[in-house]
């Protein structure tokens, strides 16, 4: 790679939904992606642990020369964005704010649903960000942890997935929301069954798409027409990552390397 790349990290494979949108938007940029497959899932872990992992992940991408860090993981974005902004010498963007802006723009009745991991929902990062922009909004949140393994299993059309989505979403749907934020990297993979269950009157906000749009404000398009390179790194299970990745990206991943982040960057 001759240019400084865009650095993206996630707890695992789900962040490829964000990678896909950014790659679409920036075909000429080099991108380095790190999936922390050794320590996934982040959703049920404590805030401090997720912050420590996020720092290590971002520092690894900085070592690869990243000129901007994109936190694809909603759980990391919810708890570690400010910390990373404070300690890194490059711009850091998370997925919460773009998703929130897009939800507020889309909602007519200001009744917004949020679904995400336990960590994301517990942090209240989405609801706080919504209230900052619209004090009158009503926000209904629900952690949907089972949707992550269902998406990884490729069960988009499976009846178990539909039943699970219904079970999680029923209480929120009764609140007459008109917009639902898919606040987890994996949920865009299940967009179709989710839309089927909530009906066409509810707008789904895909935070992966939203971040692609918002990056334009920070990252100008490069003056080159050389196709950008992709480099993928994981901390474990490269075969499984490669398999799921080719399903999400509709192509085989060429450069996939397993790395060991070690403990050297651990800070207290």
Q: Which two tokens stand for residue 264?
A: 């050297």
**144 in catalytic set:** no
Question: Would you say 228 or 238 has its CB closer to ligand DGL?
Answer: 238
Q: With CB under 6 A as the contact rule, which of the stretches 68-76, 81-89, 132-140, 247-255 interacts with ligand DGL?
A: 68-76
Among 52, 102, 185, 235, binds ligand DGL (CB under 6 A): 185
Helices (H), 90-206: 96-106, 118-123, 125-133, 147-152, 159-173, 191-198
* 186 belongs to the binding site for ligand DGL (CB under 6 A): yes
Residue 31: CB minimum distance to ligand DGL, A: 17
Q: Which of 50, 130, 184, 208 is catalytic?
A: 184
Question: Would you say 94 or 193 has its CB closer to ligand DGL?
Answer: 94
* 57 belongs to the binding site for ligand DGL (CB under 6 A): no
Q: Answer yes or no: are the C-beta atoms of 141 and 164 closer than 8 Å.
A: no
Question: In Å, how far are 8, 91, 108 from 18, measured between CA atoms?
Answer: 8, 17, 26
- Residues of span 117-136 touching ligand DGL by CB under 6 A: 117, 120
Residue 134: CB minimum distance to ligand DGL, A: 23
Element holding 242 (H helix, E strand)? helix 238-249
Rounded Cα distance, 99 and 94, in Å: 9
Rounded Cα distance, 235 and 262, in Å: 10
Rounded Cα distance, 94 and 166, in Å: 28
- Residues of span 70-109 touching ligand DGL by CB under 6 A: 73-75
Question: In Å, how far are 208, 211, 257 from 242, measured between CA atoms?
Answer: 20, 24, 10
Question: Would you say 127 or 228 has its CB closer to ligand DGL?
Answer: 127
* 148 belongs to the binding site for ligand DGL (CB under 6 A): yes
- Residues of span 27-56 touching ligand DGL by CB under 6 A: 40-43
- Residues of span 157-176 touching ligand DGL by CB under 6 A: none
Query: In the chain, what is the greatest distance between 2 CA atoms, to the nearest angstrom?
Result: 53
Query: Which residues are at the interface with ligand DGL (CB under 6 A)?
Result: 10-12, 14, 40-43, 73-75, 117, 120, 148, 184-186
């Amino acid at each position: 790679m001759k240019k400084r790349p865009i650095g993206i990290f996630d707890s695992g494979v789900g962040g490829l939904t964000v990678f896909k949108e950014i790659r679409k938007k920036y075909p000429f940029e080099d991108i380095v992606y790190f999936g922390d497959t050794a320590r996934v899932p982040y959703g049920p872990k404590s805030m401090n642990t997720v912050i420590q992992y996020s720092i290590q992940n971002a520092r690894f991408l900085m070592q690869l020369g990243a000129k901007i860090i994109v936190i694809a993981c909603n759980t990391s974005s919810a708890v570690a964005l400010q910390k990373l902004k404070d300690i890194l010498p490059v711009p850091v963007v998370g997925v919460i704010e773009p998703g929130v802006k897009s939800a507020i723009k889309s909602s007519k009745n200001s009744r917004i649903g949020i679904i995400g991991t336990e960590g994301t929902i517990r942090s209240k990062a989405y609801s706080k960000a919504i209230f900052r922009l619209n004090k009158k909004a009503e926000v209904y949140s629900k952690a949907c942890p089972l949707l992550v393994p269902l998406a990884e299993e490729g069960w988009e059309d499976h009846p178990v997935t539909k039943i699970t989505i219904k079970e999680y979403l029923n209480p929120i749907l009764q609140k007459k929301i008109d917009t639902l934020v898919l606040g987890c990297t994996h949920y865009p993979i299940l967009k179709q069954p989710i839309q089927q269950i909530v009906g066409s009157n509810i707008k789904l906000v895909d935070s992966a798409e939203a971040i692609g749009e918002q990056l334009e404000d920070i990252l100008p398009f490069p003056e080159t027409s050389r196709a950008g390179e992709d480099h993928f790194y994981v901390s474990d299970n490269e075969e499984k990552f490669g398999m799921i990745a080719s399903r999400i990206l509709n192509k085989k991943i060429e450069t996939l390397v397993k790395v060991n982040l070690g403990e050297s960057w651990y800070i207290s």
